[in-house]
Structure formats: structure tokens, C-alpha cells
């Protein structure tokens, strides 16, 4: 066992004295050490129940003959961080989580790990750590929030943000706003739509690193506690069989994840996280694959914000395995792959029926014949931009309009709330990319304000930043190269005509190459917005959004 290096032999007597200080018995020291990475804290609603999940995992590990040892991982609530400088600190935590988990696992020589994440960045951060460490690992998340209820209708956090826009447009009263804020977030858990946290927890299940139900069983269901106990027991089987993350997270497994992503209509943020996780196992997940996978993958689900169904509905309809079983009817998945269940994909999804065709469309009656995400390219985004196609109004799949240019999110929101954005406009928010932000802030405030003010079917938004999974509409993010490194988005001028064709995967500025060249000659890089602390280091090391905003050593040999 790896842990023998810290607990077995005369040379390890000093180590054992420290374990004695922790209250370990000789019997425990003879067992495998199973690290349980707990993302519990008291500031993230999706994490306030993780202490219960961790306790259940510990019991499962102990029942199966292991010695469970808990250590922490940080997490940011994107909703609370939204719309102010705190959002600069969201995406960047993904790498802090991966790095700190790697450090803890290596320093203390755990034999295996159980990851207990839930929200946006600590799911991919812990998957990145698992890929690096490559010791037996299983995931069990905290589960999704129940949908809220307002006026008898299910609702969620995205409705809350859109309500602010509706209030600004005179369509809602303060009393109605208060009713929404008291009811939309009905329980603990990751926010109830197919936002980034739930997208990544579902894809963890699809890629094979979690048990059935990991992505969909609501946080408040006792079934979630039972799932955690089973994950604790299952890690001992994975350890015995030496099934490691890189055995599971293969190139074919990532293709399965992309396919399920397209069927579910996941958050655009998956196009940052899947490439970053793949990078950790030495796989280059080219964004060009997205359109190829989308072209052959029907979109089967319209969960919020794309439609009126929520994670609890997907769970009742059969969950991720039911979606995968639908996809497998047309041979769209690799099914002979190993998973953390100890079985193959085929064995996992066999007999997993679609119990509600209104929530999971049958494969022969999809919402669309193509997937939920699309990568757009053109002279505005030579390396690509991403849009959640399934959440775009049909009339906005093609759009041409004048650019309304803003160099930060706050200025754009002020203009939108001030009634300065009108039908037909294309809002451009730049210098918000990985380097320029820094930290690639989410743009839920401007997107939801546009929707709440009734402009969602007439106004598009383009940014080198990114969007919350709760965003909907013609919102194109991750535009690369970003403005801070001289991407063409930096050269757009007020009033330039922008042409978007999502079906054709194109986004262009209707300006000649000669004019762009002239503008580039006059463009000057801007000094970094932040010059000290973690964000300064992040700015120096982060890559393009088109590559997953991974961190690289500056000036290192490629």
C-alpha cells in the first residue's frame, strides 16, 4: 500500500507517533488509508449538506475495511460572487483546488480517494486532481437543489436574476421580487437547473467516475446518503482491483462525455472544464470535435434555463443512465469502457428506461437533431467561441446587428438597465477573458437582464468572458483569442456590423481584412488590471479559453 511509506517499519515510528496524536489505533494503521476530500463549507448552498455526505462516505469506507481520513477543498458560490470583483476569483479556484488536493494526497500518501464536491469549479478541479494523481478514486457529489415554486410554477436561480431585469423594465414590483428571492432557492444543493455544477456532476457520471445518480439525486433525498455510503464501499473494490482514473478517463470516455453533454444541453462552461481535465491525462480535446459530436447527437433534454424542467424531473425520468441508454439506441456511445462502478458502460446502462418522454425525449423524437452546444468561428473568433444553442430562441439563430462595445461587464449592465440597448443590437463585452479579466468572469447579470427586459429574442451578447450555466439567449462566450492578447474582439468599434449564424457555426465582423489590419497597427496592449497576489500569477500563467484556460509555465519549452 502507498500508505505504508508513512505508517510501516521502524523508520516510520515518528510518523506513527503523530498518528497516535490523531487518535489512530494500531488496527486502523493496518488498513488502507482512504482520503475523503470534503468541499463542505457554510457559504455555498450546494455545500452546506456535504458534512452529511462525508459522514456517510466515512461509514461506507469503514464498513468495507478502510480507514477514512477527511481533508478539505475550497469552493466559491458563483451566485454570490456574481456581478462584482468576486467573480474574478471563481474560475481561478479550479486550479487551486486541483493543486491543493494533489499536495495533500501526495504529502500524506493516501491509498485511494473519495471526492465529495458539488459546485461549479470544485467538480472539475477535483477531476483534474484525480487525473494527475491516478490513484483509485470515486466521486459522490452533494446533489442538486429542489426547484422553487412561485405562483404554482417551478422556478430557479436564473428566474431570480431575470426578475431583476423585469423590475428595471417596470414589469415587476418590489413585492414580487421579494417573493421570488424567498422561494426560488428551495433547499440546499447545487442550483436546480442544468447549470454548470449539475452539468459537471452529470458528466462525472457519464465519463465513468461516479455511481448512478451522482448527477441527479436531489441533495435533500435520503437516497443521496445511501449513494454516499455505496461510494465509500465501492472505493475499496476499486483499490483492490487497482482501477485508477486514467483507466476510466480515456479518449473514448471523453467522447462519451461530449455526447451526453450535447444530449443534455449542458452549460457552456463544460467547454472550459472538459479540455482542462483531458489535458491532465495527456489528451488534447480539440474544440473542433464539439461540432462533429453535435452534428450526430440529438438534443434530448431542455432543462432550465433552456426549458421548464429541472434536475429533480431528470432524476425521476431515469437520470443520466436513461439518457445514455437512449443515445445507445443509435450506437452513439462507446459501451465497452470501464467505470468506477466496477462495470462497463454497457452493463451500467442496460435496462435503464426512460420513464418520462416529456423530460428525456426519445432518440427518434428529439428537440433537435443536433446537440445543445456549438462552437462558432470567424474573423471575430478565429480560435472559436461557444454558445448554448439549445437555449437560443429560433429567431436568434441568425442575427445581424450593430456592435455596442463595452470594455467591462459593469458598463454593459449600466447601459442595459439604462435602456440604451435596443432591438437588433449586439452587445460586446471584452477585456473579461482569462488574462484580461483576469479570471474570465461569468456574465449572468447582463444576459439575465437582457432576458428580463424582454430583449432576449432581439439582442445578442458576445464576450471573451464566459456565461453562467443559468444564462440563456444568443450569448456567445469564450471568444478567442481574447482582447487582452490582441484578439480581433479588441478591434471592434461601436456600430460595426456583426453577423451571427449559429447553424453555420460562424460569427464575423463585417469589416475588411485591410481595415482590421489598420486597426491592429493602432492597438496597444493594456497593463494588467491586477499586479499582485494570486490573480497576478494566474494572469501570467493562464492560456486561452479555447484551450480550457489551463495554466502553463510562462516561457517554458512547448
- The residues, ordered by sequence, that sit 6+ positions from 77 with a Cβ below 8 Å of its Cβ are 43, 44, 45, 46, 119
- The residues, ordered by sequence, that sit 6+ positions from 504 with a Cβ below 8 Å of its Cβ are none
Instruction: Return d(Cα 521, Cα 22) in angstroms, integer.
Output: 64
| Sign of CA pseudo-dihedral 327, 332, 336, 339 | negative
**CA dist list (Å): 376 to 1, 315, 513:** 48, 32, 19
Instruction: Return d(Cα 513, Cα 402) in angstroms, integer.
Output: 18
- The residues, ordered by sequence, that sit 6+ positions from 365 with a Cβ below 8 Å of its Cβ are 357
The one catalytic residue in 190, 267, 448, 468 is 468
Q: Show the 3-state SS of 368-401.
A: ECCCCEEEEECCCCCCEEEEEHHHCCHHHCEEEE
| Sign of CA pseudo-dihedral 387, 485, 86, 414 | negative
Query: DSSP letters along 436-487, please?
Result: TTTS--B-HHHHHHHHHTT-TTT-EEEESSB--TT--SSEEEEEES-GGGT-
Cell numbers that stand for 457 in this block: 429574442
**CA dist list (Å): 69 to 17, 51, 271, 534:** 17, 13, 33, 29
Counting Cβ atoms within 10 Å, is residue 201 exposed (0-12), middle (13-18) or buried (19+)?
buried
Is residue 305 reached through a cis peptide bond, with omega within 30 degrees of 0 on the bond before it? yes
Instruction: Return d(Cα 449, Cα 165) in angstroms, integer.
Output: 4
Query: Do the Cβ atoms of 193 and 468 come closer than 8 Å?
Result: no
Active site includes 141? no
**Residue from 364, 332, 363, 357 nearest 345 by CA:** 332
For the chain, helix (H) and strand (E) counts, in that order, are 22, 14
Query: Do the Cβ atoms of 386 and 462 come closer than 8 Å?
Result: no
Residues recognised as catalytic: 468
Amino acid at each position: 500500500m502507498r500508505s505504508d511509506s508513512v505508517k510501516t517499519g521502524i523508520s516510520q515510528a515518528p510518523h506513527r507517533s503523530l498518528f497516535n496524536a490523531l487518535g489512530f489505533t494500531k488496527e486502523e494503521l493496518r488498513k488502507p488509508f482512504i482520503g475523503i476530500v470534503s468541499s463542505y463549507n457554510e457559504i455555498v448552498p450546494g455545500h452546506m449538506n456535504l458534512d452529511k455526505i462525508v459522514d456517510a462516505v466515512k461509514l461506507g469506507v469503514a464498513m468495507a475495511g478502510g480507514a477514512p481520513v477527511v481533508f478539505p477543498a475550497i469552493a466559491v458560490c458563483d451566485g454570490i460572487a456574481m456581478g462584482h470583483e468576486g467573480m474574478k476569483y471563481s474560475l481561478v479556484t479550479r486550479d487551486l483546488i486541483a493543486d491543493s488536493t494533489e499536495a495533500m494526497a501526495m504529502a500524506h500518501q493516501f491509498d485511494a480517494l473519495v471526492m465529495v464536491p458539488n459546485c461549479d469549479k470544485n467538480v472539475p478541479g477535483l477531476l483534474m486532481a484525480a487525473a494527475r494523481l491516478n490513484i483509485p478514486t470515486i466521486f459522490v457529489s452533494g446533489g442538486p437543489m429542489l426547484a422553487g415554486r412561485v405562483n404554482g410554477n417551478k422556478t430557479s436561480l436564473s428566474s431570480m436574476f431575470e426578475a431583476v431585469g423585469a423590475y428595471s423594465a417596470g414589469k415587476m414590483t418590489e413585492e414580487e421580487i421579494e417573493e421570488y428571492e424567498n422561494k426560488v432557492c428551495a433547499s440546499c444543493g447545487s442550483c436546480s437547473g442544468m447549470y454548470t455544477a449539475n452539468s459537471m456532476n452529470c458528466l462525472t457520471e457519464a465519463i465513468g467516475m461516479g455511481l448512478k445518480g451522482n448527477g441527479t439525486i436531489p441533495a435533500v433525498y435520503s437516497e443521496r446518503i445511501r449513494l454516499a455510503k455505496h461510494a465509500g464501499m465501492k472505493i475499496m473494490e476499486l483499490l483492490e482491483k487497482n482501477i485508477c482514473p486514467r483507466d476510466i478517463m480515456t479518449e473514448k470516455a471523453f467522447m462519451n462525455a461530449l455526447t451526453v453533454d450535447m444530449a443534455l444541453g449542458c452549460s457552456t462552461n463544460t467547454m472550459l472544464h472538459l479540455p482542462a481535465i483531458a489535458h491532465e491525462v495527456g489528451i488534447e480535446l480539440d474544440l473542433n470535435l464539439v461540432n462533429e459530436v453535435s452534428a450526430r447527437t440529438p438534443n434530448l433534454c431542455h432543462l432550465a434555463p433552456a426549458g421548464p424542467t429541472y434536475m429533480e424531473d431528470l432524476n425521476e425520468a431515469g437520470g443520466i443512465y436513461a439518457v445514455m441508454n437512449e443515445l445507445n439506441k443509435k450506437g452513439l456511445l462507446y459501451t465497452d469502457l470501464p467505470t468506477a462502478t466496477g462495470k462497463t458502460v454497457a452493463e451500467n446502462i442496460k435496462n435503464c428506461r426512460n420513464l418520462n418522454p416529456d423530460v428525456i425525449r426519445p432518440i427518434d423524437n428529439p428537440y433537435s437533431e443536433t446537440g445543445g452546444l456549438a462552437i462558432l468561428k470567424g474573423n471575430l473568433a478565429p480560435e472559436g467561441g461557444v454558445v448554448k444553442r439549445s437555449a437560443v430562441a429560433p429567431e436568434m439563430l441568425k442575427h445581424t446587428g450593430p456592435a455596442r462595445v463595452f470594455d467591462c461587464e459593469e458598463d454593459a449592465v449600466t447601459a442595459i438597465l439604462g435602456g440604451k440597448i435596443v432591438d437588433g443590437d449586439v452587445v460586446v463585452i471584452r477585456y473579461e477573458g482569462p488574462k484580461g479579466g483576469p479570471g474570465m468572469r461569468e456574465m449572468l447579470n447582463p444576459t439575465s437582464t437582457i432576458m428580463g427586459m424582454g430583449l432576449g429574442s432581439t439582442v445578442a451578447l458576445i464576450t471573451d468572458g464566459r456565461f453562467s450555466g443559468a444564462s440563456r439567449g444568443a450569448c456567445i462566450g469564450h471568444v478567442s483569442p481574447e482582447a487582452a492578447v490582441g484578439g480581433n474582439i479588441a478591434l471592434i468599434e461601436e456600430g460595426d456590423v456583426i453577423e451571427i449564424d449559429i447553424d453555420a457555426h460562424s460569427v464575423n465582423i463585417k469589416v475588411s481584412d485591410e481595415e482590421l489590419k489598420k486597426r491592429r497597427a493602432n492597438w496597444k496592449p493594456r497593463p494588467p488590471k491586477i499586479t499582485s497576489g494570486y490573480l497576478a500569477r494566474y494572469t501570467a500563467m493562464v492560456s486561452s479559453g479555447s484551450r480550457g484556460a489551463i495554466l502553463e509555465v510562462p516561457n517554458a519549452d512547448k
